[in-house]
Amino acid sequence: MNLIAKKMVNFLKKEDGPTAVEYAVMLALIIVVCIAAITALGSSASQTFSYVNSNIKAPAAS
């Protein structure tokens, strides 16, 4: 039983895995990419709506 406890303590002390700082950096990069994609898509959508708006004929007055 003592061996299991020692292995558990050693496992918890290891720092091989990613830390909170690394997760924060990954999250920041993902957010930057998402913002860039949304900005590009928003600009493209805005241009498309403007084009459609300028080419639609106004309805005839009654």
What φ, ψ does residue 25 adopt, rounded to 5°? -65, -45
Give residue-wise pLDDT tens across range 8-57.
Answer: 788 777 766 667 788 889 999 999 999 999 998 988 888 898 898 888 87
- Give pTM, 2 decimals: 0.51
CA distance 38 to 60: 37
pLDDT of the residue at 17: 66
**Banded model confidence at residue 2, pLDDT cuts 50, 70, 90:** confident
Cα–Cα–Cα angle for 18, 22, 28, rounded to 5 degrees? 145
Domain layout of the chain by residue ranges: 20-46
